[in-house]
């Protein structure tokens, strides 16, 4: 059944001023799930005005009280987890268990971010002058523009919005047009939890009509973006030229290193999950395996057999292990890369084609695909595909595996399978990625640790963990001189 949804601006649910809408489709069936406002710059302006007005009072609400709203939202999310997960599977396609995990990350972030309302630590330090107090505190930046992708339509918005709100910022939120429904549920839950009108504003629409005006507006001093590297770098150049705070989380080309002493059963299981979970549509997905030459052939056979056995279908079907790609363009992108891999001489040992039998013909399904005989510098081994395609590269030893991993233009996640504690610790030191796993796949993150990557994956910011407030706060240093006389710091502080 199709439903109509609206923007949330200034505490009210309103249509786009133009009256235009776009359809939200189930990628497994093509069914229309809902109609959403196709907003434009005029709607963005309304949202920014509301957020700027609300900031004046929201920043003065004590941080513990701001955090209580986020905590209450976490409780509501926990009560509605099953319904939110089903809605997510419908619009994004990931299997129901994974959708539940996505929602759980939102619950975890709500409780973790709420704790910052009673921490939000600054620094106190002795002054170098007598009768003088020195300290630093975090303060909110202002209106934050939050732009999120479709692959984690609930978790990623909570990773950004909840810390921003607890820190005292207001927000204008633009979700991906492929997964708009979960954004509406999140905004409604925060409002129900007691968030004042105008503190969070939700505007649906395209990047050109909503995202670009949001990035360009001088009343929005901070932008937090997760998505493709090309779009992120474009945002960085435009927003950076305006002196804005910009936090980027972008692409990945993550590798699992499998050494000659690895537990191949465990490694195979982890590779299959990391490569084909969420249909490969994760920034942390494993899209490269760097296999030691002594185990390469056996590992390829195990992974290929496992990939062929994975069951495709609608994510609500309990038997389904791999759902559809999010849209037709993503399916065609995967098909293009399969052709590129074949043309470069790599061998398809599993999959290699879209799945179109029976009910699968209605959706954007592609068989889990494994390439062997892949050169380390082949396009399928260095470019982000964002789909169920895995490239296996043969390496001669641990040192070569590390070199190949680090040659990537991305640096989000890496994994190593070995029983050798010395090589495990060397990998922890030498793998140039923001996340390193030992004897585990490349996917997964716990919200109390920083999340993010190096090089083309990001611009140095880290979401979650103890760094979660950094994109959303400024530091203010405060000096209180109670000496009753003018003390000129280093000028008068001479020994």
Estimate the crossing angle of helix 63-79 against helix 81-92, to 10 degrees.
80
**Cβ pair 140, 52 in contact under 8 A:** no
Cβ contacts of 249 within 8 Å, gap of 6 or more: 225, 226, 227, 232, 283, 451, 452, 453, 457, 458, 461, 463
Which residue matches tokens 């680090």? 406
Asked if 19 contacts 38 with a C-beta cutoff of 8 angstroms, the reply is no
Asked if 50 and 43 count as a contact pair (C-beta separation under 8 A), the reply is no
DSSP H or E stretch at residue 190: helix 181-192
Cα–chain-centroid distance for residue 485? Answer: 52
Give the ranges where 344-417 is alpha helix by DSSP (H).
379-382, 398-406
Helical spans, DSSP H, in 93-140: 96-115
- The Cα–Cα gap between 480 and 126 comes to 11
Pair of tokens at residue 27: 């990628």
Q: What H or E segment, with its residue span, contains residue 187?
A: helix 181-192
Q: Of these residues, 249, 286, 384, 463, which one is catalytic?
A: 249
Distances (CA, A) of 380 to 76, 108, 322, 338, 348: 43, 35, 21, 8, 12
User: Among residues 283, 286, 384, 463, which one is catalytic?
Assistant: 283
SS3 451: strand
To the query of whether residue 283 is one of the catalytic residues in this protein, the response is: yes
Cα 434 to Cα 302: distance, rounded to the nearest angstrom = 29
- Tell me how far apart the alpha carbons of residues 344 and 289 are, in angstroms, rounded to a whole number: 18
136 within 8 A of 475, measured Cβ to Cβ: yes
- What is the largest distance, in Å, between two alpha-carbon atoms of the chain? 85
Distance CA 451, CA 370 (A): 28
DSSP for 357-370, written as a single string: SGGGGGS--B--EE
10 with 48: CB under 8 angstroms?
A: no
Angle subtended at Cα 326 by Cα 28 and Cα 463, rounded to the nearest 5 degrees = 135
Q: Cα–Cα distances in Å, from 11 out to 6, 19, 187, 192?
A: 12, 19, 10, 11
Token pair for 487: 């003390």
Tell me the three state secondary structure of residue 273: helix
Q: Which residues are catalytic?
A: 249, 283
């Amino acid at each position: 059944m199709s439903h109509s949804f609206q923007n949330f601006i200034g505490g009210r649910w309103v249509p786009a001023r133009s009256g235009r809408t776009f359809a939200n489709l189930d990628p497994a069936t093509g069914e229309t799930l809902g109609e959403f406002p196709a907003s434009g710059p005029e709607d963005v302006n309304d949202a920014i005005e509301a957020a700027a007005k609300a900031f004046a009072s929201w920043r003065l609400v004590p941080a513990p009280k701001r955090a209580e709203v986020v905590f209450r939202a976490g409780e509501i999310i926990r009560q509605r987890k099953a319904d939110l997960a089903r809605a997510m599977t419908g619009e994004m396609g990931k299997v129901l268990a994974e959708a539940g995990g996505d929602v759980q990350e939102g619950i975890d972030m709500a409780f973790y971010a709420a704790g910052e309302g009673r921490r939000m630590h600054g620094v106190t330090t002795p002054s170098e002058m007598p009768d003088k107090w020195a300290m630093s505190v975090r303060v909110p930046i202002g209106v934050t523009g939050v732009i999120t992708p479709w692959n984690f339509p609930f978790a990623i918005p909570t990773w950004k919005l909840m810390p921003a709100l607890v820190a005292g910022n207001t927000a204008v939120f633009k979700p991906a047009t492929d997964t708009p429904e979960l954004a509406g549920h999140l905004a409604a839950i925060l409002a129900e939890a007691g968030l004042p009108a105008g503190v969070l504003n939700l505007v649906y629409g395209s990047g050109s009509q909503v995202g670009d005006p949001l990035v360009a507006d001088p009343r929005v001093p901070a932008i937090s973006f997760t998505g493709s590297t090309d779009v992120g770098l474009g945002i960085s150049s435009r927003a950076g030229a305006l002196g804005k705070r910009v936090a980027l989380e972008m692409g990945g080309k993550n590798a699992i290193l499998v050494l000659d002493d690895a537990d191949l059963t465990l490694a195979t299981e982890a590779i299959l999950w990391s490569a084909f979970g969420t249909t490969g549509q994760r920034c942390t997905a494993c899209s490269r395996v760097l296999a030691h030459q002594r185990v390469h052939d056996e590992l390829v056979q195990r992974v290929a057999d496992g990939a062929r056995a994975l069951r495709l279908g609608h994510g609500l079907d309990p038997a389904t292990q791999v759902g559809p790609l999010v849209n037709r363009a993503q399916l065609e992108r995967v098909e293009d890369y399969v052709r590129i891999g074949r043309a470069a001489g790599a061998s398809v040992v599993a999959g290699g084609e879209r799945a179109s039998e029976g009910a699968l013909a209605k959706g954007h399904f592609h068989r889990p695909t494994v390439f062997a005989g892949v050169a380390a510098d082949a396009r399928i081994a260095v470019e982000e595909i964002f789909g169920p395609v895995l490239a296996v590269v043969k390496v001669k030893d641990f040192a070569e595996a590390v070199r190949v991993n680090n040659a990537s233009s991305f640096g989000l996640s890496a994994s190593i399978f070995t029983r050798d504690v010395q090589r495990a610790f060397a990998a922890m030191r030498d793998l140039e990625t923001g996340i390193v796993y030992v004897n585990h796949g490349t996917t997964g993150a716990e919200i109390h640790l920083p999340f993010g990557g190096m090089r083309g994956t990001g611009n140095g910011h880290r979401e979650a963990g103890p760094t979660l407030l950094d994109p959303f706060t400024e530091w203010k240093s405060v000096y209180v001189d109670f000496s009753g006389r003018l003390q000129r710091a280093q000028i008068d502080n001479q020994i």
